Amino acid sequence: MAAVDIDVPVEIETQIGHQGDLESQAEGFKEQGNVFYSKKDYSEAFNYYTKAIDACPKNASYYGNRAATLMMLCRFREALEDSQQAVRLDDCFMKGHLREGKCHLSLGNAMAASRCFQKVLELEPSNREAQQENKNTTTLLELEQMADAGFEKRDFRKVVYCMDRALALASACHRFKILKAECLALLGRYPEAQSVASDILRMDSTNADALYVRGLCLYFEDCIDKAVQFFIQALRMAPDHEKARLACRNAKALKAKKEEGNEAFKNSNYEAAYQLYTEALMIDPNNIKTNAKLYCNRATAGAKLKKLKQAIEDCTNAIKLDDTYIKAYLRRAQCYMDTEQYEEAVRDYEKVYQTEKTSDHKHRLKTAQLELKKSKRKDYYKVLGVGKNATEDEIKKAYRKRALMHHPDRHSAATPEVQKEEEKKFKEVGEAFTVLSDPKKKVRYDNGHDLEDDHGFDGGDFDANNIFRAFFGGHGGGFTFDSSPGMFFFFPPLQISFSSVVFTENLGGGIRGGAV
C-alpha cells in the first residue's frame, strides 16, 4: 500500500518554524552572554542571558547562567530565585543545585544550603566543590551557636569575632551584619556599628534591624531625641520588634529622669537631685556615655551635700565608663582638694592639662601642686587648732590655750615619754605662733615658700620658752604649775584652772583677764 502524504496545516508549520527560530536566537543570546561573562563584564552578560530567557523561558541552563552572573554581581537574592527556577525546570541540573546552595550560604541560610549540597552529592558523589561547601555550612552553624552563647553571656567581643568569621562565608547575610553592628555598639565602637547599619540602610531603607542599630548608636552617644526617632521608625517597619520597643522605652525614661535631676539641682534641691540621678543610673547599665554623665552629675550633687567620699567614687565610676571625660577628672580633683588628698588632685589635674592645655587648667594644676608642697610641711594651723582663715586674735587665743596645755612644767610629774612628747608639742606651738603671728612670715607660709630660706628663721633652733615668756609679759617666773592635772599658778599664787581656762592680771602687768 502506498504511503499517504499527510497535509500539515500552515499555522502549525509556522509555529514550529518560529519556535525553532526562537531557540536558535536564544542560543545566540546565551553565547553572547558567555563571551561577556568570560570578559567579566557581568552587567552585559546579565542582559544577554535575560534576552535568552525571554526567548526561551523553559531552558534551565539559561536561568543557571544568569544566576551565576547575578552571584558575581553580589545580587544573591535574585541569583537564588534563578537557581531555584533552574532546578524546578530540571531537577537533575547539578550546577543549578550547587548555585542554589551557594546563594543560601551567602545569605546565611546554612540548613537550606546543606540540603542543596546534599542533592549535588546524590547526583555526583565525588563532587569536591559540594563536599567543601557542605563543610562550610557546618562551620557556619557552629559559629552561629557560639555567637548566640556569647551574646547570652554578654561577651560581645566573642560575638563580633564569630560574626567576622561567619561573614567570610556568608558575605550577604544581613542578620549577621546586624548582630555584629549591635555588639559593636554595645562595646562602644559606635562609628563601626553605624557604618554597618548605614550600608544596610542604603540597600534597604526599610530594614527594621538596621534602623534599630542606628538608633542604638545615637542612644549610646547620648543623642536621645534622635535615637527615639529611629526606634519609632523601626517599630513602624516591624511593630513586633521587641528590642526597638525596649530601647525606645529606656531612652524616654532615661531622658525624663535625667532632666528631673537637672531641674532639682538648678533649684538647689540637692538631695532630690542626688536621688533622681541614682534612679536614672538604674534604668540601663548598657548606656555607658549617659551613665558616665549621670555619675558625674551625682558627684556634683554629692559634693554640695558634703558627701565627698561618695562624690570621689562617682567620679571614678564615670571615668571607668569614659576615660576621656574631662569634667569627671575636674570634679574628682576638686573633691580631692577639699579632702586634702593633694597628690591625687595633682595627678588628675595633670591628666586634664595634658589633654586640654587651657590657662584655667594650668592655674588649677599649679594650685594643687602648691597645696601638695604645703601639705608636706608642718601644718601650723593644725598645730594651733585653728582654721586657715583665722584672725590675729584667734591665733593669739589659740596659742595661749595650747602653750599652757603643753608647757613642760605642767607635766613635770608625768613619765619621761610623756614629758618628751609634751615638750615637742610645746616647741611646735611656739614655732607655729612665731610664723602665724608675723604678717610677712604668714604670707610667705600661706604662699608655700620655704621659711627656712628666710634670714633669721630656723624652725629647728629657737627657744619656745622665750616666746612663752614674751607672750605672757616677759617675766620668766610668772607661772608655777601644780602637779595636779589642770592646775597652774601665778606668783603671787593666784590659782587658774585649765578646765575653765580663765586668766587674771599678773601683778607685773603681763596678762589681761579673759576666757580663751
Q: What is the pLDDT of residues 30-63, one digit of tens each?
A: 999 999 999 999 999 999 999 999 999 999 999 9
Contact 116, 98 (CB under 8 A): yes
- Here the CATH number for the domain that contains residue 76 is 1.25.40.10
- Does 139 lie in the same domain as 90? yes
For residues 371 and 385, membership in a common domain is answered with no
Question: Are residue 373 and residue 406 in the same domain, yes or no?
Answer: no
CA distance 143 to 150: 10
CB atoms within 10 A of CB 235: 18
Identify whether residues 269 and 353 lie together within a single domain: yes
Q: What are phi and psi of 74, to 5 degrees?
A: 60, 30
Same domain, 257 and 287: yes
Instruction: Report the mean per-residue pLDDT for the chain.
Output: 86
Give the pLDDT band of residue 459 (cuts 50, 70, 90).
low
Compute the distance between CA of residue 516 and CA of residue 513 in angstroms, rounded to an integer: 10
Other CB atoms within 10 Å distance of the CB of residue 123: 14
Write out the residue range of the structural domain in which residue 38 sits: 16-145
On the question of pLDDT at 332 being above 90, the answer is yes
Residue 219 lies in a domain: no
Lowest mean pLDDT among 100-109, 120-129, 507-516: 507-516
Q: What per-residue confidence (pLDDT) applies to 486?
A: 44
Q: Please name the residue ranges forming H helices in 127-207.
A: 128-152, 156-169, 174-186, 190-203
Per-residue pLDDT for 216 more than 90?
A: yes
Residue 414 belongs to domain with CATH number: 1.10.287.110
Summarised one tens digit per residue, pLDDT across range 228-264 is 999 999 999 999 999 999 999 999 999 999 999 999 9
Domain boundary pick from 120, 145, 170: 145
Q: Kindly state whether residues 349 and 390 are assigned to the same domain.
A: no
Domain termination site, one of 113, 145, 177: 145
Same domain flag for 390 and 356: no
Q: Are 508 and 473 in contact (CB under 8 A)?
A: yes
β-strand 495-497 against 479-481: which pairing, if any?
unpaired
Do residue 137 and residue 22 come from a single domain? yes
DSSP secondary structure code for residue 488 in this structure: E
- Measured CA to CA, the distance from residue 79 to residue 49 in angstroms comes to 13
Please tell me the least confidently modeled range out of 187-196, 229-238, 462-471: 462-471
Arithmetic mean of pLDDT, 169-190 = 94
In this structure, the answer to whether residues 314 and 413 fall within a common structural domain is no
Domain boundary among 426, 448, 470: 448
Q: How many domains does the chain have?
A: 3
Is residue 409 located within the same domain as residue 343? no
For residues 287 and 254, is the Cβ–Cβ distance under 8 A?
yes
